[in-house]
Chains A and B, each alone.
Chain A
Amino acid sequence: MSNLPLIRCHEASIHRGDRCLIADLDWSVNAGELWQVTGDNGTGKTSLLRVLAGLAPNSLVGQCEREGATLYLGHKNGVKADFSPRENLALSLGADAQFSAKETDRALQVVGLGQHLDEPAYRLSAGQQRRIGLARLVLPSPRLWILDEPLTAIDVSGVGLIERCVNDQIHRGGAVVFTSHQPLMAGTLRRLHLSGGRGVIHGV
């Protein structure tokens, strides 16, 4: 396992249209670190995460390098309503690897969808659909996770589940960057606070 940082930003600025959301960000994420990106609405949390995930390369000015693949969960689940939870995972375009049927079934059991394996996702609630997306956290995954508001539409037991998954990922030597308005109780939480176009690093 290399000791290179998984994310390294050097004098990175993120623009949206003509506006500069974040200026001159120097920041790195190492293996085993858990980062929460905080800030008021509109300060650029999602834009930062999209740049990190490689979805918005043209919004970036400066340097922001990422080591290897990433698991990205955005505001949209990537869940197809016409497919059952099983089909959603088996045919997921979000993972480079092919999961075995045993792995996906177990992951769906873990996220609490064991009763709904073959039900079309449009019959499930918003929270349950979100959980199909979260099953990706239980399956084999890349070292870097980028989670944008993972707690949306998730109940208390779901929050506990996410905390366990994040904990496991940190202990495996992975790294997690997430945005949320509430903290996750998992390991040492570091915080990148965005305000006034700057990123301020807390709690290292």
Chain B
Amino acid sequence: MSNVLLKVLSRQVLLAFRRPAAVLNPLVFVGVVVLMMPLGLGPEREMLGEFSPGLMWITALLASLLSVETLFRGDYDDGTLEQLVTSGHSLYFASMGYLLSHWCVAGIPLILCSGLFASMLSMPSEGIVPLMASLFAGTLVLSAFGTLGASITVALRRGGMLLSLLLLPLEVPVLILGAGVVARAIAGMPIVDLLSIMMGLAMLALALAPIAIAASIRISLEV
């Protein structure tokens, strides 16, 4: 049952350790974007600080989009997905494993580094912890949508364009909520309500997305 969840999770994490570039790529991407912002927007601290919630969240969303495309590629090409589907394992829990593995590999490092990145954008200090909290819930939703999109497009070979087209409309509400949490915290307003909504969305996505992911893994193999 959930044995397969742990197996998928440990496979993906071990794989990430074998190819550290997969973990570092999204982080390097976010770092480069954050470094470029003061050069493009000008180094005024007030302006950068005001834009920082939105900028952080946009880069987090794009980083998640970039890293998710290859999530199923290897397992599709080498036959691992065929093995998974014919094994009799619960595909629901396997899909949840893929979702959580993407979050562990792409989401958690970003959450941990976000404080550093945010202060590079001169984000006021009262925004840092809310940023990390909103990323914690938000990247989980992004991973859920991303894993779903990746499982739909894996059989298409070059499905990158379609993947972005599918995912962006779904992920925009997360961006609005996430950036809203940080902006409100900086303005000194309460954020518990917005954060609770985000956390609720994350739990809902974690529970329901695997149903759709499992179905699209089956469909992807039928070609």
Q: Using a CB–CB distance below 8 Å, which chain A residues touch chain B?
A: 53-59, 69-72, 74-83, 87, 91-96, 98, 120, 142, 146
Contacts and interface: CB of A to CB of B under 8 A. Distances in A.
Contacts of A78: 78-80, 82-83
Interface string B178-194: 00000000000000000
Contact of A76 (B4, B82, B87, B88): B82
A82 B94 contact: no
30 contacts: A53-B82, A55-B85, A57-B218, A71-B86, A72-B83, A74-B79, A74-B82, A75-B79, A76-B77, A76-B79, A77-B79, A78-B78, A78-B80, A80-B11, A81-B78, A91-B11, A92-B83, A93-B7, A93-B8, A93-B84, A94-B80, A94-B86, A95-B87, A96-B87, A96-B88, A96-B89, A98-B3, A120-B18, A142-B88, A146-B86
B4 to A, nearest CB: 7
A19 B80 CA distance: 28
B86 A53 contact: yes
Contacts of A93: 4, 7-8, 11, 80, 83-84, 87, 89, 94
Nearest to B94: A93
User: Interface on chain B toward A: helix, strand, loop, or mixed SS?
Assistant: helix
A93 B86 CA distance: 9
Closest 3 CB pairs of A and B: A76-B79, A94-B83, A78-B83
Interface in B1-15: 3-4, 7-8, 10-11, 14-15
Interface string B5-34: 001101100110011000000000000000
Contacts of A69: 87-88
